[in-house]
Every structure is written in C-alpha cells, then in structure tokens.
Amino acid sequence: MTTIDTHVGVSTHTTGSSFVASVGQWVTSSDHKKIGRLFIGLSLLYAIAVAVIGALIGFERINPDGAQFFDADAALQLTQLHRHALVFGLLAPLFIGLAIAVVPMQVGARAIALPRLAQLGFWGWALGTDLVLISFIANGGPGGGSSDMVDLYLLGLGLSLAGLLAGAVSVATTVLTSRAPGMGLMDVPAFSWSALMGSVASVLSLPVAIGTVAYLYVDHTYSQTAFGDNKVINTWLGWVYAQPQTFVLIVMALGVLAEIAPVTARTRQPLRPVLLAGIALITTATLGAVTQTAHVLDLSGTTGDKLSSTILFLFFNGLPLLGALVTVAVAMLSFKEGRPGVNASFAFALLGALMLLAGVAGSFVQHIGDAALVGTSFGEGVTAYVVYGGLLAALGGITYWAPKLWGVVLDDKKVLGLAGLGFIGVVLASLPLYVAGFADQPVDAVNDFDYSGPLGLWNVLAGAGSAVIALVVLAYVGLLFAAVRKGAGASDDPWDAHTLEWSIPSPAPADNFAALATVSSSEPLLDVKPSQEVPA
C-alpha cells in the first residue's frame, strides 16, 4: 500500500539572502535532498581524513621495531580511530545520505517519510561522531588512558549509531509507504530496493549495537566488573566494526551498480527478480552481526561436529558472498543484451563492486579455520576492500545523480581518470594486507612485531594506497565544487535513464513532483520513450 505525501518543507524555506538565512535553511530544512547532501558532504570529508590516517599507519609499520611518527599508546588509539572512522564516519553515513537524497525521487514521492527524523538523524550522527573524535584526541576510546574520555567515546558512539538508525528508519518507511500509485514493491527501482534491504538490516542490527554500548557505558561508569575496564571494550564492541556487520552497510553499493548498469547498456535489466533476490540475500549478514559471533569453519572433531560447523559457516559466510556474486553477475547481464558503453559513474560503480567482492570473498576465506587468518592483518584488508570499494561505488552514485542534487554533470573524462586511480588505490591499500596476513602480521598492531619476508614493502604499499585514495576523494570533491560553482546546467535526463527521478527538472525542485505519477512497471520513464532496437 502507498500513501500520498503532504506538502513538506515549505516552512523551512525563506526569502532571505543573507549568510545567516542560508545557514538557517540548511540547519532546519526538511528537504530530503539537503539532508542527504549534508550526510554526503561530511562523509567525504571523513573519507579524506580516514585515508590519511590509513597512510600514516601503513608508513609507521615500515619499521615496527620502534616508533617513527607517534608512540605506542598513540598508535593504538590511532588504529582504533581509523577503524571507527572507516565504518561509521565514512561507509554507513555515505550510503544513508545517498539513500535519503535519492530514494524519495525514485519512488515518486514529494518528500521523504518522517523528514524531521531524517534531519535529527544527521545531527545526531554528526554530533556523536565529533564526540568520538574528541574522545580519541583526549586519550579516550578502546584502550584509552582517560576513563572520562572513554565514557565520552561510548556516549558519542551511541549517539552516532542512533542517528544512523533514524536515517535508516526514514528511508525504509519511505519505500514502504510513499511509493507512487501503481508501484508495487517488486516495481521499486534497484537502488531503492537495495536501500530498503540495507535500511531494514540496519534497523535490525544497529539497536543491538546501541544496546551493547549502553551496557558498556553503565558498567564502565559505575563498576567495571561485568564487562571489564578500558582495555577490553573492543572484546564486546569489535563486531560493530568488523564483518559481517559491514556487509549490511554495503548493500546499497551494489544497488548503485544494479541501477546504473542497464542505463549505461541502454536496455532493460534482464532477470530482475533474480537481481532483487541477490540484493536481499546479502542482508543475511544481519544474522551474523546480531549474534555477535564469527562462525569459523572447524573440521576437527566428530562427523557431526564437522557437519554442524560447515552448515553454520556456509549460512553465515556463504550466503552474503552468493548474494553479492549474483547481484553483480545479473547486473552485468544487461551488457550482453544492450548496447554497451562506458562512463564515469558506471566505471566507479563497477570497480567499487569488484572491490566489494574481493572483500566479501576475503571474509569467507578468513573464516576458514585452517587458514589461521583470524587476528591477522588479513581482516584489516577485508575491511579496507569493503569500505573503500563502497566509497568508489558511492562516488559512482553521486556522479550519476549529481544532475538532480546539484544541477550539474561532471566532466566525464576527468572523473573516469579518478575512477581508475581510485581502483589502483583500493588494491594497494588492501591486497598487501592480505599478503601480510598470511605472513601472520597481527591485526591493529603498529609496533613490536616481525616476520620473514618483505615486511616493509607490504606496509608501504598499503600506506601509499590510502594516500592515493585521499587524493582521489580530494580531487573528486574539487571537481564537484568547481562544477557547482560554475553552475553549468544539466538537462532533465542526461543519461537517457529509466526511473521517475529523471522526469523532473535538474536540479530537482523542493517538493520533487508537481503531481504524483501512476506507474505500471519498474522502468516507467523507459516505458514512455520511443522504442530503440538493439543491433544484433
């Protein structure tokens, strides 16, 4: 069932032209496109910062016998800050923001459902993430030396998670209740479907994380007896930053590829039900996240023990991998049936999806007990592949929807070059950590470890990869800013696309649609365009 949206957001627009009035519009606006852009903008700033931190960690590891840039205690805090910023400073808010900005237009809604909740979600996440950053600077966080700052870290983490949860609830509610007349759930565009799946999975997993944070905060503040002191916080919270929880957050990244691929190939998406099933299958990772258990394949013991371990391993680790493989494979089938072309948004989306596959497959290998990779830098490589791959896919989505969000089309050749450079950066930042993991380089360690082989080489490559990613994001933000400042107008439908958002002006007006359209398929805009024969 769908609902008709009310006229939301008028009260937040003012005719004033002063700087204060402009800031006030952004702070109080219920326009989902502004809220989404706030999420996206701040997440990209965190992307640059987190890549710089990753570069510092990689270069620090070149000589693990002693400290080069910072002492051992600071190194521990830096690795913990890096992990937090990767997942909850970059990955999660970037896709929540993209979904908030795009989904209402895709499903034919005039506004996002629960707009004030979405707005509150941004400010809760932004404030909470800032508190986490302050706590780390003041020697807080997991393993921190200041108990008060550890409390601040837990408070900030809980607040940022609550903000992301609010955004996810708003997105899921929009898809479920605010679709255009005639649009059933099976007719929802691929990205909006992935946003629904990812948001529902987040709604199921984030409250578990918030509950864990609440328990830790109360115990740490009053007794430190049930869960332990500052040093063991990660024992209880480590799953929040690791796999499979991160898989919940990258469902929308594969949705970006599924959305862009058929448009680039100029054809309808074949096997669409299989595609939607593949996207949904990835969210089985939620079960592994909420149980807070790493299901490792253990083939020791009796036949019954081996069978039980194999079933659990395949269920919790194999199904997300299968879903990711199916999604990418079916999305790319459009190139077999259509008229293939390549542009920057598709290049970013495809390269990002391939990096995500490398991360999901790496997690599968990591949880094979005989591989002995748990507790090594291999896990860091998995996270780097997942997060940085998601970043590439998100940049593809931002490039694709830039006409609706900012009214501009980015320079395709320049952005295409950044996509290739970003791919190189992700491989350099991640693959050497896989190799070092097989050499037993410990996870999160910066000093006091050693192993045979080119230890310095793997870590300098990983550091260089993170530095390249920082440059790519910085250059991309510069291109976007220059395009917006220049004000080069984009046409309503520059991509010859398939879905409803391309039927409205660029940039999209505050209330999206002057009148709600009635749709009868998953590609309503394509339905009304002249048919184009695909050459044999």
pLDDT digits (tens, 9 = 90+) for 271-314: 999 999 999 999 999 888 888 877 889 888 899 989 999 999 99
Q: What is the mean pLDDT of the chain?
A: 89
Place of tokens 């807070």: 292
Q: Which residues partner with 376 through β-bridges?
A: 442
- For 297, phi then psi, to 5°, come to -75, 115
Return d(Cα 154, Cα 216) in angstroms, integer: 8
Please list the helix, strand and coil fractions of the chain in percent, rounded to the nearest 5, in that order: 70, 0, 30
Give Dmax over CA atoms of the chain in angstroms. 75
- Work out the pLDDT band at 10, boundaries 50, 70, 90: very low
List the chain domain ranges.
Answer: 28-526
Tokens linked to 444: 């999160």
Per-residue burial over 441-450, b if 16 or more Cβ lie within 10 Å, else e, is bbbbbbbeee
Place of tokens 């360690």: 445
Tally Cβ neighbours within 10 Å of residue 307.
11
Q: Is the pLDDT of residue 16 over 50?
A: no
Of 332, 336, 334, the closest CA to residue 357 belongs to: 332
- Work out the pLDDT band at 72, boundaries 50, 70, 90: low
Predicted TM-score (pTM) of this structure = 0.93
Peptide bond into 507 cis (omega under 30): yes
Q: Is the pLDDT of residue 163 over 60?
A: yes
pLDDT of residue 1: 41
Cα→Cα distances 319→313, 314, 323, 363, Å = 9, 7, 6, 12
CATH for 28-526 is: 1.20.210.10
Sign of CA dihedral 450, 454, 460, 464: negative
Share of the chain above pLDDT 90, in %: 65
Cα→Cα distances 337→94, 349, 404, 494, 523, Å = 32, 19, 28, 22, 16
Is the CB of residue 275 less than 8 Å from the CB of residue 256?
no
Is the CB of residue 97 less than 8 Å from the CB of residue 163?
no
